Chains A and B, each alone.
Chain A
């Protein structure tokens, strides 16, 4: 069960519409290392996680990623909501506009729609937590790249916040991997899958 709080986890207050920035930031909405994929990855993986403490962590981080999806949605809304048709053409937003007007649609910056092929849920704690650590690093790199491409301080501020969260999540997943390893056979901890043994 989820509840909704009518607030953003971190404030977004962008004064200047900017279609070019929206075109790249949309990748963190529905792109390969975006917040939607992150949330679905963790919230799906947790069912096969034998350690309840780690399943709980996946629930909490998966939930926070939904809040991040909302932050990215707010950024896209504020960047594109007041664009004029001239700006849409001039800033190359016309190819998006023709399909979605200025609605928020989960896709990568390249235009590829969100697909679950961006993520895995392998049903093996070591494999899944290793993927999660990599996913946090990839998302951090995407935010680094966004920071190289935008110069409006109103955009930079929430993007920096989201980047920092990736680093914290990476740290927590590393600790969770340690918790899973501690429970396995220390001599050969990847010899079997603790989520599917003796079957």
Chain B
């Protein structure tokens, strides 16, 4: 795939912001009134929406409900997450 390094960089940003939200989601499940955590969650959610949109535009779909079909079907092709696409 072209621009593998840049794709990985963007994928890593999505990974980071998503993990922060995974962690905050569990924390909020048991601390629903924590205003700092609520704010942190909402900030990251906005950032993540933008990153996913950018990734989907450039490299294809991450989310099976959000697939851009202008250039065909990008959902069930490379890169598969368990493979090391960029080095081999």
Contacts and interface: CB of A to CB of B under 8 A. Distances in A.
Contacts of A172: 26-27, 29-30
B14 A9 contact: no
Interface residues of A, number: 30
Interface string A58-94: 0011001000001001100110000000000000000
Contact of A168 (B14, B26, B65, B81): B26
Nearest to B19: A9
A70 B82 contact: yes
A168 B23 contact: yes
- Chain B, interface size category, equals 20 to 34
A179 B82 CA distance: 38
Interface string A1-28: 0011111111111110000000000000
A60 B29 contact: yes
Contact of A176 (B30, B75, B82): B30
Contacts of B22: 9, 64
B15 interface: yes
B65 A7 contact: no
A13 B12 CA distance: 12
B51 to A, nearest CB: 11
B81 A57 contact: no
A3 B65 contact: yes
A53 to B, nearest CB: 7
Contacts of B15: 7-11
B30 A7 contact: no
B81 A70 contact: yes
A56 B80 CA distance: 29
Interface in B38-84: 61-65, 75, 80-84
Interface of B: 11-12, 14-15, 18-19, 22-23, 25-27, 29-32, 61-65, 75, 80-84, 87
25 contacts: A3-B63, A4-B64, A5-B62, A6-B61, A6-B62, A6-B80, A7-B11, A7-B81, A9-B22, A10-B19, A12-B82, A53-B30, A56-B29, A57-B30, A60-B26, A64-B22, A64-B26, A73-B82, A74-B81, A78-B82, A172-B26, A172-B27, A172-B30, A175-B31, A176-B30
Interface of A: 3-15, 53, 56-57, 60-61, 64, 70, 73-74, 77-78, 168-169, 172, 175-176, 179
